[in-house]
Amino acid sequence: MYLTKEQEGMLDGEEGAVVEKLMRLLVRLGDIYDADKMISVGSVQVAGVSYKSIGDPGLEFLEDFASKGAKVKVLTYLNPAGMDLEDWQELGIPADFAEKQKLIIDAFKKMGIVITATCTPYLAGNLPRFREHLAWSESSAVSFSNSVIGARTNREGGPSALAAAICGFTPNYGLHLDENRKPNFVIDVKTDLKFNSDFGAMGHFVGAAVKNKIPYFEGIKEANTDNLKSLGAAMAASGAVALYHVEGMTPEAGLMNIEGLERIEFGEKELKESYEKLNTGDEPDVVILGCPHASLREIISIARKVEGKILKKPLWICTSRAMKETAQRMGLLDVIEEAGGKIVADTCMVVSPIEKLFSTTAINSGKAAQYLPGFCKQKVVFGNIDKLLEGK
Ligand code: F3S
């Protein structure tokens, strides 16, 4: 792989042992995938933040790096942590877990990383541009930035994202290249989709059908960015889909040739079957919304739905700190709390230890429906937001 003088120097230890080690990791990665060179990244999103996911070995690794003076060179955000970093006690998070989680956050802070723990960095101050190269980790954020924004990122692991943040580069392979962004299947959407859960159910079906490949959607009549983030998240979960195109909606769709591609139909029957498959429970202990992290538009809409009511079940809305604070300023937090809900920042239903608190969770996310049974030992009630908030 071609390296510039600066990159050669980093590899030779001119910028210290940490940079040398991480540059080696990037070069090895580039060699494996046959990258021709390194490219600068505009921003990084690092996964592996929750103590639940990385445990003591991850904490020790991060503390070691931070103590050796590792510093990021580009704007770097974090994936959700294992708890609301401010209101964790209120959520019932155990104190020993909280203590470790705070140490992880301290290590990231020392490295100069923005302490915004979210899977929707594009809604919280880190908006890439079309064709900007990134090194993001969390699968729904990767899908959204590639597909809806038209930026370019592979799905980075925790260490490779951290390496890109500290070195400022990533190897040029995979979805950074034009030829790897072409669709492999056309998805013929033959049914109307209204709720995020409809998009999540379709994403679950399509991801499993195309596995690791790139779908091109035809026939989606209307979708906002919240619907698209639900769709992308569910496909990433069921089929590791990191890029999709939607006719007339996503920026690269018009550049793609879909002639002769295999077509897969998604109609009323597939939608119904997907809902049935994702449902594994009956009586929820809690309703948790915001996977991927809720946008302000979603929080406003939930607040309008619950205003003046008392919810039958406790409600959590997972989001970024930035959205929570804006909701608070708008008085939406009070509306939601009066109805019996909470806005939970910095974390989500999958990476926080909810198995210590609940056993059946109601959700409207196609991604969370796939992760909660295994990762959090939950039974899942999967449905649209109106039904969930009515307790049906
Ligand atoms: Fe985000 Fe957690 Fe869902 S990281 S995409 S809210 S599983």
Give the strand pairing for 360-363 and 286-294: parallel
User: How many Å lie between the centroid of ligand 1 and the Cα of residue 230?
Assistant: 10
pLDDT at 391 (0 to 100): 79
Segment 281-298 shows an average pLDDT of 97
Could you tell me if the CB of 291 is within 6 A of ligand 1? yes
Contact 315, 332 (CB under 8 A): no
Is residue 26 classed as helix, strand or coil in its secondary structure?
helix
Segment 264-290 shows an average pLDDT of 97
Nearest to 78 by CA among 111, 52, 100, 56: 111
Is residue 342 classed as helix, strand or coil in its secondary structure?
strand
Residue of the nearest CA to atom 2 in ligand 1?
348
Could you tell me if the CB of 350 is within 6 A of ligand 1? yes
Ligand 1 closest atom vs CA 371: 7
Contacts made by residues 60-66, CB under 8 angstroms, sequence distance 24+: 62/104, 62/107, 62/108, 63/103, 63/107, 65/18, 65/107, 65/111, 65/162, 66/106, 66/107, 66/108, 66/110, 66/111
Could you tell me if the CB of 49 is within 6 A of ligand 1? no
Tens digits of residue pLDDT in 298-353:
999 999 999 999 999 999 999 999 999 999 999 999 999 999 999 999 999 999 99
Residue 32 in this model has a pLDDT that exceeds 80: yes
* Higher pLDDT, residue 91 or 391: 91
Is residue 72 classed as helix, strand or coil in its secondary structure?
coil
Could you tell me if the CB of 318 is within 6 A of ligand 1? yes
Q: With pLDDT > 90 as the criterion, what percentage of the chain qualifies? A: 99
pLDDT at 392 (0 to 100): 63
Give the separation between CA 68 and CA 301, rounded to whole angstroms.
46
pLDDT band at 213 (very low <50, low <70, confident <90, very high): very high
Q: Which secondary-structure segment (H or E) carries 286?
A: strand 286-294
Residue 45 in this model has a pLDDT that exceeds 70: yes
What is the sign, positive or negative, of the torsion defined by CA atoms of 210, 212, 217, 222? positive
pLDDT at 123 (0 to 100): 98
User: How many Å lie between the centroid of ligand 1 and the Cα of residue 367?
Assistant: 8
User: How many Å lie between the centroid of ligand 1 and the Cα of residue 140?
Assistant: 7
Residue 216 in this model has a pLDDT that exceeds 80: yes
Tens digits of residue pLDDT in 360-372:
999 999 999 999 9
User: How many Å lie between the centroid of ligand 1 and the Cα of residue 292?
Assistant: 5
Contact 126, 75 (CB under 8 A): yes
Contact 111, 72 (CB under 8 A): yes
